[in-house]
Amino acid sequence: MKYDPFARGKFPVGVRSIEALDTSRNCLFPFEVWYPAAAEHAGQDLAPATQDVFTVSGGSTPRAQAAVRDATAQGGTYPLIVFSHHSTGNRRAATFLATHLSSHGYLVAAIDHSEVVSAALARKDGETAEQRNARAESWVANRVPDMRFLIEHLINTWNSEARIDSSQIGIIGHSFGGWTALATPEVEPRIRAVVALAPGGNSRPRPGIIPAKLTFEWGRNVPTLYLVAANDVPLPLEGMYELFERTSSAKQMVILRRADRLHFIDDVEEARIVRRWPPFQSFDRSARLMRCAPSNADATTA
């Protein structure tokens, strides 16, 4: 049968929220885990009356995701995919993607990163440029340890009929999370595949973008997919081309024409308000020039 990447998979999807304390950093991290659910939940993950509804921390508008809260798991062993969100994001930033992958037989996990859960890393009113730069450095320094903690904790403690295949682990990240996805394989040998969605990390970041660097010193072949947006202003295509060229592993790039960086998260139209937040104030003029892409933005490959 012809594979349709947009068609939902054969499994209904369950979702579970857990917390884990990283004693080395004295930080309590929330996780979200999506997994293939038992056949008894078929259709419940898509029905508004039975699918999970949640609110994001700091928000008040309820949101739904195509999963059943604490559903009975479908027994089996599944590859693990870990997801890293954008700066100012959260672990549920791309539930459309997590639930879609889980419906195809993946166990997907995401973490609220350190800058979200640690008061010490939060933005502060009246901070100096030096303090702001130090905070950005701390954001960068904690990202990869966050992902390693997520992987290690799940492998050692996840208790479910939907078991983790620890030999099959991939990582996906968006924006700052895309940088995280490209940086983690250098120190986490269990990562076997990378998907970078409009990633940061190029050598000439625009003003206001976190100046995180990449070495690509992975020491092995880690197949990598870049999925990027043609109309991305903060993270433009020239930076994507640079990262692609520097990636020595097997690689492919897909460019979404008429799309921008927000097309990789849930509720894209609502999320456009992010452009009015720091650090995107630097892009006020450029953002006004952005074309709002329709949801059926097309693609080219490299």
Confidence at 291, pLDDT banded by 50, 70, 90: very low
Q: What angle do CA 269, 92, 289 make, to 5 degrees?
A: 25
CATH assignment of the domain containing 36: 3.40.50.1820
What is the number of domains present in the chain? 1
What domain range is 48 assigned to?
13-301
> How deeply is 190 buried, as exposed, middle or buried, from its count of CB atoms within 10 A (0-12, 13-18, 19+)?
middle
Confidence at 272, pLDDT banded by 50, 70, 90: low
Tell me, yes or no, whether 5 lies in a domain: no
Q: Does the structure show a pLDDT above 80 at 109?
A: yes
Both tokens of 180, joined, read 């995280």
Tell me, yes or no, whether 2 lies in a domain: no
**pLDDT tens across 26-71, in order?**
999 999 999 999 999 999 999 999 999 999 876 678 999 999 999 9
Tell me, yes or no, whether 249 lies in a domain: yes
**240 CA to centre of own chain:** 17
**pLDDT tens across 227-236, in order?**
999 999 999 9
**pLDDT tens across 292-302, in order?**
333 344 555 65
Residues 14, 41 contacting (CB under 8 angstroms): yes
Tell me, yes or no, whether 1 lies in a domain: no
Tell me, yes or no, whether 8 lies in a domain: no
Tell me, yes or no, whether 7 lies in a domain: no
176-183 vs 129-157: helix crossing angle, rounded to 10 = 60
pLDDT of residue 288: 35
